[in-house]
Amino acid sequence: MKILYYDCFSGISGDMNLGAMLDLGVSTDTLISGLEKLKTEGWRLEITRDQRHGITGTKVTVITEGEHSHLPDTDHQHDHDPTHGQDQGHEHDHGHTHDHAHEHTHHHPHRNLADIERIINNSTLPDPVRTLSMKIFSHIAAAEAAVHDKPIDEIHFHEVGALDSIVDIVGAAICLHDLGVDRVYASTIELGSGMVRCQHGLLPVPAPATARIISGFPVHTGGVHFEATTPTGAAIIAATAEPLPPEMRFIIRKCGYGIGQKNNPARPNMLRVYLAEIPGEPEHGHEARLIECNMDDMNPELSEYLTRRLFEAGAGDVWITPVIMKKGRPALTLSVICEAEHVDAIRMILFTESTTIGLRVIPCAKETLHREFEEIETRFGKVMVKKSYFNDQLVSVKPEADRCAAIAAATGLPMKQVVQEITAQISGIK
């Protein structure tokens, strides 16, 4: 099982998360081209290499023009402590700056959840990215509604509704989608201490919204004297991750560091992330479920949407087979392979989104090869490849299709050619 592990020993913020994702291997082009699908202007990313306590990582600053920018990403933080100000740390060449800035004016729109949803739904982002983006924002909206004792549709985002925070949150969804991990886990989360200045004045750290959002996760306070975990960072964790079980063991495949905006002497202001695998995943005959249904009266055009919903609900595989039913009626048999824990969700989708009136749920033994993921450098940039093993022997190596499709779209080359070239390189490497 491929996992992402957030090591939040110094907290987490939106910009630290973006830096960690890029440092882990998500390409700058993937992030920027994804953000461009928001169809919003007035932003740019400043991407540099930086260090904290001798550890090198990637630092991302979202710079906006046309509305007030939280520089850097502190969500609703403007540090009050002169001894812990916005230390910009090391200066480096800004060779990866991507400009979307336009006429500069300082105004600060207070968007509500419907405004955010309109921006995201009007984008051309993939459905999973839109869904995850709204899930993150919904965590923030629910917390703000509880704190202010207002209905969720009356909540106006202040700092978190600003363009830079939108970029942080949608960027997080883009990166997670690109990594294609099976599960996300988080460590104990450092919250910080002190006071923070926001729209409503001085508030204790963690901010009330942050405390609600991160509820259910193990936390620590007082490790640093500033807001270490912002509402955006907390919402990313709450929407995507679960606490790492104490007994869980994993094998680290790659590590990335997202550099924060402070140069704190107490501990390095950074977020560490691991791309890892959980060992001992059953490879032979582990139990699964085969769910099947027949449909003789459904418009085939609905099948693409239905299939996507099933994968989002946890299906491991989905396929449709043309069949002939009684009285010579043409029909479709839809088959789904999933783990037992996803049966209820998939059953609901099949009964509500298809025309079937009955299902077959069949226990089965699923045999899979052991899989490992490795990122390689190509002339197109970094590409994730999947290696499959049988009895410890490498039997298959292939590049990830989504990344190949993105390369083809960016270069104008046929996707087939991109796959062939990368596969040839992989063959040479192995």
Interval 359-415: pLDDT, tens: 999 998 888 787 777 778 899 988 888 888 887 788 888 898 888 998 999 999 999
Q: Give the pLDDT band (50/70/90) at residue 72.
A: very low
Among the residue ranges 16-30, 48-62, 155-169, 286-300, the one predicted with the least confidence is: 155-169
Q: What is the 3-state secondary structure (H, E, C) of 142-201?
A: HHHHHHHCCCHHHCECCHHHCHHHHHHHHHHHHHHHHHCCCEEEECCEEEECCEEEECCE
How far apart, in whole angstroms, are the C-alpha atoms of residue 388 and residue 395? 6
Mean pLDDT, the chain, whole residue set? 84
Taken in order of first residue, the domains within the chain and their CATH numbers are 2-277 (no CATH), 286-366 (3.30.70.120), 370-429 (3.10.20.300)
**pLDDT at residue number 66:** 58
Asked if 104 and 42 touch (Cβ cutoff 8 Å), the reply is no
**pLDDT at residue number 33:** 94
How far apart, in whole angstroms, are the C-alpha atoms of residue 214 and residue 267? 22
From residue 6, give the alpha-carbon distance in Å to each of 9, 12, 169, 244, 345.
9, 9, 16, 9, 27
pLDDT tens digits, one per residue of 234-249: 999 999 999 988 778 8
**pLDDT at residue number 287:** 79
**pLDDT at residue number 400:** 85
Share of the chain above pLDDT 90, in %: 53
How far apart, in whole angstroms, are the C-alpha atoms of residue 272 and residue 251? 15
For residues 183-192, one letter each, b for 16 or more C-beta atoms within 10 angstroms of the residue's C-beta and e for the rest, the string is ebbbbebbbb
Q: Give the pLDDT band (50/70/90) at residue 218.
A: very high
Q: Most confidently modeled of 31-35, 243-247, 295-299?
A: 31-35
No. of helices (H) and no. of strands (E), the chain: 11, 19
How far apart, in whole angstroms, are the C-alpha atoms of residue 22 and residue 19? 5
Q: Give the pLDDT band (50/70/90) at residue 109.
A: low
pTM: 0.62
**pLDDT at residue number 67:** 52
**pLDDT at residue number 100:** 46
Average pLDDT value for residue range 154-163: 62
Crossing angle between the packed helical segments 14-24 and 231-240, to the nearest 10 degrees? 50
